[in-house]
Amino acid sequence: MNECPQIMTRAVAWLALVVSLCLSAGCGTLKNGRGWGQDAIWPVQLKRISSAARHALFDPVTWVPAAGALIFTIDDFDKKTAHWASTQQPVFGSQITAHDMSDHLREALTYETFATILLTPSGNDALDWTFAKAKGFAVESSASSLTGLATGQLKKAVGRERPDESDNESFPSGHTSIAFSAARLSNRNLDSIELSPWLRNSFKAANLAMATATGWDRVEAGRHFPSDVLAGAALGNFLTTFIHDAFLNLPEDSSMGFFIEPSPRGVTAAVSWEF
């Protein structure tokens, strides 16, 4: 029980470090001379939308958890793992602590999303800065809201009973879908903030780790089966990646990327980069 405040203190310290390192990045522009959020929403580009949907679907943070959710349905592996985690509590030592930590981690990721929105470079003029932030925020809040709405509708449609038998809204995990949505938004925003590659990648990895821990907390708290949280992770990442990339209209990422997708002869996996 005493570990919870210590973990939260570290999370707050981490967020403070992000803010202190990025504080000077709220003004200025992106590399193409435009402000973050300045070109959001309009014009709608059909080519960008189709590309965003394809890349969101075949993003590893979408298809790996989705595949994992299917694997956990084999031979009662799902229920056995959930029972072991909720009774043994290998990480947090109690279901109450695990439950509380899932709330804290989800909230920390949500707060970081707001912080990184403010820290992206949206120009030096106060009026233009405000308008650009408002449009960018509209896109990112829509991604988060749609994730929550889709999660809620799936819960009602599937009607899976939770491991603790408290209700029939186990699948998919809402905590996990929102956590992965927030992690994806924060990581996308970090791409627009001037940071060293090592530092940016470290923050991104930490955000994904926090989102993953949120999902595990839900299993250890007895509120979800592993397939619930894996499906929530895939759902949150897919919807958020799609909406962000389709409608924020940011310059194409020039960093190295990896994708995997079906092809007429099987499956194509590729690494790409621009220079």
Per-residue pLDDT tens over the stretch 234-273: 999 999 999 999 999 988 764 444 444 555 555 555 544 3
45 or 254: which carries more pLDDT confidence? 45
261 or 94: which carries more pLDDT confidence? 94
Quick one: the chain helix, strand, coil %, rounded to 5? 65, 5, 30
158 or 92: which carries more pLDDT confidence? 158
Tell me how long the chain is: 275
Q: How many angstroms from the chain centroid is the CA of residue 216? A: 15
38: number of Cβ within 10 Å: 20
Q: Which fold has domain 41-272?
A: Vanadium-containing Chloroperoxidase; domain 1 (1.20.144)
Model pLDDT for residues 222-238, shown as the tens digit of each residue: 999 999 999 999 999 99
Give residue limits of the domains in the chain.
41-272
Residue with tokens 């995990």: 173
CA separation for the pair 73, 229 (Å, rounded) = 13
Q: Which secondary structure element, helix H or strand E, spans residue 89, and what is its range?
A: none
Q: What percent of the chain lies above the pLDDT cut of 70?
A: 82
Residue with tokens 């394809």: 54
CA separation for the pair 48, 146 (Å, rounded) = 19
The backbone torsions φ and ψ at residue 243, rounded to the nearest 5 degrees and listed phi first, read -65, -45
Looking from the CA of 272 toward its CB, the CA atoms found within 13 Å total: 10
